[in-house]
Structure 1
Amino acid sequence: MTRGTTTERTETGRLTELTQWWRRAFSYSGDERDTLLVIGKSTLAATLAWVIAYDVLDARSPAFAPFSAVLIMQVTVYRSVVQSLRYVGAVVAGVLVQAALGFLAGPDQLTFVLVALIALTIGRWPVLGVQGPQVATAAFFAFSTYTSSSGDAQRFFRLGEIVVLVLIGCAIGIAVNVLVVPPLRYRSAEYGIRNLAHTLYDLLADMYPVLAEGVPDQDTTGGWRDRAARTEEMIGQARSGLQTAKESALLNPRRLLRRYRGHPGFQGYEAVLGALERTLYQLASLTRGLDRSLEGDEARQPFLQRYAVFLESVSAVAEVLTTLDETTLFQQAKRLERLTGEAETRHNDVVEETRRLSLSLADPSAPYGVLVIEATRLMEEFRYTSEILLDAAKDTD
C-alpha cells in the first residue's frame, strides 16, 4: 500500500511539473517557450529540406538536407550563419579529401585509412570549431557513396550532390530562423544582472542585521566571505547571457522593428555587470576585514551600527537591480539614483563616526581602515552603475 501510494504521488508530481512547464511556455517568454520555438522551427526547416531533396531533386541521399537544416538551427541568427559557414566548410573539406584520394587511389582499404587520417587531422583545425568532426563524417559518407557508385561521372555527380544538399539544408535552416520569430534575446542580459544582484542583495541582507547587534564571530564572517567568493560561475553565466544577447541582435531583422529601436543597448548592461562583479569582490574583501578581532574595543559597537545602516542602504540599491527591466528602465534608474544618494549619506555618516570616535584608519591591526576603504569603493561602483543606467535610459527615452 505504501509503495503504491508513493508511486502515485511521484506520478502526480511529475504530471504537475509537466503541466506547469506547458503553462509557463504559453504564458510568457522564457526557456520553455524558446524550447518549443526551436523544436517547431527545426521541424519546419527539416520538413522543407526533405521535400526539396526527396520530392523535387530526387536525391539519392536526401537526409543530408534536413540533417543540415536542423544542425545549424542555433539560438541566434548570427550563430546560425557562423555555424553554417563552418559546417559547409567542414563538409566540403571532407568530400574533397575523399574525391582527391578516391580518384587517385581507388576505393580500397588503404584509401579509407588515408581519408580517415587526413579528415580527422583537418577536423582539428580551430577555425572549424565545433563543426570540426563533420569533416570526417562527410568524408566517410562520401567514401560510402563513392564505393557504391559506378563510373567516374556518376561518382563525381554523387559527391557533388552531397555538397548541394548540405547547402540547401543550411540555406533553409537560416531562412526559417530569420523569417519565423527570429530569436532576439535582449532579456538574457538582464537575467544575468538580476541573478548577480540577487546574490549581492541576499548577502547584504544577511550582513547588516548581524553587524547591528555587535561583532560577528569568525564562522559567520567566513561564511559571508565564502558566499561572496562563490560567484565565479554566476559571473561566467551572466557574461555568457550578455554575449548571447549581443549576438542575437546581429543579422536579426526584428531589431529594426519600432519596439526594439529604443532598446538601451548592451554597453550599459556590460558596465553594470562589470560593476557588480567588482562589488562582489569588494564585499569579499570587506568580510575579510571583519575577520580581524575587535574584542575589547569600546568603539566597535557604535561604529558597526553605523556601518550596518550603511550596508542596509546599499542593499536597497542592489534590490533595484534585482528587478532590472528595459521597459521601466528610466523609472528604475531614477530610483537607483535616489537610493545611491541616500547610501552616500550613510557612507558619510560612517566616515564621520570614525572621526568622532578618533578611530585609526591607518592601524593595520584594526579593521576600520579596510572597512571604510571598501565602503568607499562600494559607493563608487554603485554611483557609476546609477550614472550608466540613467544615461542609457535617457538615450532610450
Structure 2
Amino acid sequence: MNGVTAAGQRTEAASQGRVSRARQWFRRAAGSGGHERHTMNLIFKSTLAAAVSWWIAHDLIGATSPAFAPFSAVLIMQVTVYRSLWQALRYVGAVSVGVVVQGALGFLAGPHLLTFVLVALVALALGRWRPLGSQGSQVATAAFFAFSTYVAAAGSAQRWSQLGQIIELVFIGCGIGVIVNMVVLPPMRYRSAEYGIHTLAHSLCDLVGDMYPALREGKLDEERTRQWRQRAVQLGPIAQQAQSSLHTAWESTFYNPRRLRRRHRPRTFSGYQAVVDALERVAYQVTSMTRSLDQWGGTDDASHAAAFTRAYGDFLASLAHISELLADIEEDHLRDQSQELCRAAAEAQQCRDQLEDDARESSLPLSDPGRPYGILMAEATRLMDEFQHTCDVLQHGVDQADTGDADSSSS
C-alpha cells in the first residue's frame, strides 16, 4: 500500500513539475524576446498562414486536394523573411519538376507499376540537383502525389487539370506563407548578433579570468594547464555559433519592412562582423597560448619564471577586462561602451609594453626555441593586436553611425 502511495506521489510531483515548466516557458515567451518568443511567433504565424491557405484552397477554389496549400505555407515559414522567400522559390521549383516528370512519363507510359518505377528513378535523380538545395527531396514527394492523383482521375482532361491544380495550390500556400511572414511580426534577429558576441566573449573572459590569477601566483601545475587547454579547444565551436548567429541576424534584415525603422543597422552589423571575426582569431590565439603553457608547465629557472608569469598574468587580467566589456555590449549603449573599450585597450597595451620591457631587462632567452618565453611574447602581441582591432572597429562603427544620423538630420 505504501509503495502504491509513493508511486502516486511521484507521479503527481512529476505532473506538477511539467505544469510548472510549461508555465515558466509561457512566462518567458510573454516577457522576453528570446527563443521562446520566437517559437511562439512562428507557431502563431504558421497557424495563420495554414488557415488562410486552407480557406482559399477549400472554400474559394474548391480544390480536390486542398491540403497542398496549408502544407506549403507551413513548410516555408522560416526564421527570416529572406529564408522564407528563398525556400519558397526552391519548393515551388521542386514541386513543379516532380509534377512535370510524372505528367510526361504518366501520359507516355500509362498508369502502370513500371511507370511509377521510372517516375521514382527520374524524380530521385533530379532531387539531387544542387539549385534545389534542401527542397530537392520534394521532387520525389510531389511526383508520388501527382502519380496518385493521375491514377485516381477519370480521364485525360481531369488528370491535366488536377496536376495543374497541385502546382497552383503550392503557389498559393507559398505566397500566403511569405506574405504572412513578411507582414505579421516579421522576424528580426538583431539581438542574436549581440547574443553570439556575448557568448563568445563570456567564454573568453571565463577562461582568461581563471588563468591570470594562477599565473600571477606561479601555479602552473600540469592538471591546471591541461584543463585550460581543453577549455580553449571548446572556443572554436562557440566562435562558429557566433558567426552563425550574426549571419541569421544580418539575413533577417533582407526584405523586412521593420529594418526601415533604424537606418544605421547595416553599419552596426558590419561592426559586429568585425568584432566576431576578431574574437574568433583571439580564440585561436588563446588556444595556442594554453598549448604553450601546458607544454611548459612552469618548469624553468625559478626567478625568471616567477617574474615573467606574474607580468604575463597582469597582461591577461587586462584582456579579461576587455572580454568582460564585450560580453555586455548593446547597440543602444554602444557609444559609451566603445569609449570604455578604447580606454581598456590602452591599459592593456601598457601592460603588454611593460611585459616586454621586463622580459628584456631580465635577459630572458626569448630566442631559445626550447623555452616558451619568445612564443608567449609573440602570442601576447597578437592577442593585443586583435583586441585593439576589435575596439577600433567598434569605435569606427559608432563614428559612421553618428555621421549617418547627422546627414539624415541635415537633409
Q: Does the TM-score normalized on the shorter chain lie above 0.5? A: yes
Cα offset for 1:320? 0.8
Cα offset for 1:341? 0.6
Tell me what 2:334 maps to.
329
Aligned with 1:340 (options 345, 354, 357): 345
- Higher deviation after alignment, 57-66 or 357-366: 357-366
Tell me what 2:388 maps to.
383
**Partner AA of 1:252 in structure 2:** N
2:245 paired with 1:218 = no
Cα offset for 1:215? 4.1
Cα offset for 1:288? 2.3
Q: Unaligned stretches of 5+ in structure 1?
A: none
3-state SS, counterpart of residue 26 of structure 1: helix
2:179 paired with 1:175 = yes
Q: Answer whether contact 2:200 2:239 (CA < 8 A) is retained.
A: yes
Tell me what 1:41 maps to.
45
Tell me what 2:126 maps to.
122
2:69 paired with 1:28 = no
Q: Answer whether contact 1:264 1:326 (CA < 8 A) is retained.
A: no
Deviations 1:163-206 (A, max 9, x none): 00000000000000011011111121111111111110000110
How far apart in 1 are the matches of 2:291 and 2:219?
Answer: 13
Q: Answer whether contact 2:274 2:393 (CA < 8 A) is retained.
A: yes
How far apart in 1 are the matches of 2:143 and 2:277?
Answer: 45
**Partner AA of 1:87 in structure 2:** Y
Tell me what 2:165 maps to.
161
Deviations 1:278-337 (A, max 9, x none): 111111221222231433332221221111111111100000111121111111111110
Aligned with 1:317 (options 322, 343, 347): 322
How far apart in 2 are the matches of 1:7 and 1:209?
Answer: 48
How many residues align? The count is 396
**Partner AA of 2:285 in structure 1:** Q
Tell me what 1:304 maps to.
309
Q: Answer whether contact 1:215 1:304 (CA < 8 A) is retained.
A: no
3-state SS, counterpart of residue 269 of structure 1: helix
Q: Answer whether contact 1:45 1:69 (CA < 8 A) is retained.
A: yes
Deviations 1:344-393 (A, max 9, x none): 11111111111221212111222211111111111100100000001111
3-state SS, counterpart of residue 210 of structure 2: helix
Cα offset for 1:152? 1.2
Q: Percent identity?
A: 52
**Partner AA of 1:56 in structure 2:** L
Cα offset for 1:12? 3.3
Q: Answer whether contact 2:236 2:284 (CA < 8 A) is retained.
A: no
Tell me what 1:370 maps to.
375
Q: Answer whether contact 1:90 1:131 (CA < 8 A) is retained.
A: yes
Q: Unaligned stretches of 5+ in structure 2?
A: 403-411
2:144 paired with 1:140 = yes
3-state SS, counterpart of residue 60 of structure 1: coil
2:80 paired with 1:76 = yes
How far apart in 2 are the matches of 1:22 and 1:260?
Answer: 33
2:250 paired with 1:276 = no
Q: Answer whether contact 1:263 1:326 (CA < 8 A) is retained.
A: no
Provide the aligned C-alpha RMSD in A.
Answer: 1.4
Tell me what 1:15 maps to.
19
Cα offset for 1:114? 0.7
Aligned with 2:112 (options 108, 114, 118): 108
3-state SS, counterpart of residue 299 of structure 1: helix
Cα offset for 1:233? 2.0
Structure 1 stretches of 4+ with a deviation exceeding 6 A read: none
**Partner AA of 2:278 in structure 1:** A
- Higher deviation after alignment, 289-298 or 221-230: 289-298
- Higher deviation after alignment, 90-99 or 226-235: 226-235
How far apart in 2 are the matches of 1:8 and 1:390?
Answer: 56
Cα offset for 1:61? 0.5
How far apart in 2 are the matches of 1:264 and 1:322?
Answer: 20
How far apart in 2 are the matches of 1:19 and 1:323?
Answer: 29
Q: Answer whether contact 2:236 2:283 (CA < 8 A) is retained.
A: no
**Partner AA of 2:315 in structure 1:** F
TM-score (norm 1): 0.96
3-state SS, counterpart of residue 258 of structure 2: helix
3-state SS, counterpart of residue 390 of structure 1: helix
How far apart in 1 are the matches of 2:313 and 2:134?
Answer: 50
Tell me what 2:69 maps to.
65
Q: Answer whether contact 1:294 1:366 (CA < 8 A) is retained.
A: no
How far apart in 2 are the matches of 1:8 and 1:196?
Answer: 41
Q: Answer whether contact 2:366 2:374 (CA < 8 A) is retained.
A: yes
How far apart in 1 are the matches of 2:350 and 2:245?
Answer: 34
Q: Answer whether contact 2:209 2:320 (CA < 8 A) is retained.
A: yes
Q: Answer whether contact 2:239 2:280 (CA < 8 A) is retained.
A: yes
3-state SS, counterpart of residue 252 of structure 2: helix
Tell me what 1:393 maps to.
398
3-state SS, counterpart of residue 183 of structure 1: coil
Cα offset for 1:89? 0.5
How far apart in 1 are the matches of 2:6 and 2:332?
Answer: 51
Identify if the C-alpha distance between structure 1 residues 378 and 347 changes in structure 2 by more than 3 Å, giving closer, same or farther.
same
How far apart in 1 are the matches of 2:273 and 2:266?
Answer: 14
Tell me what 2:408 maps to.
none
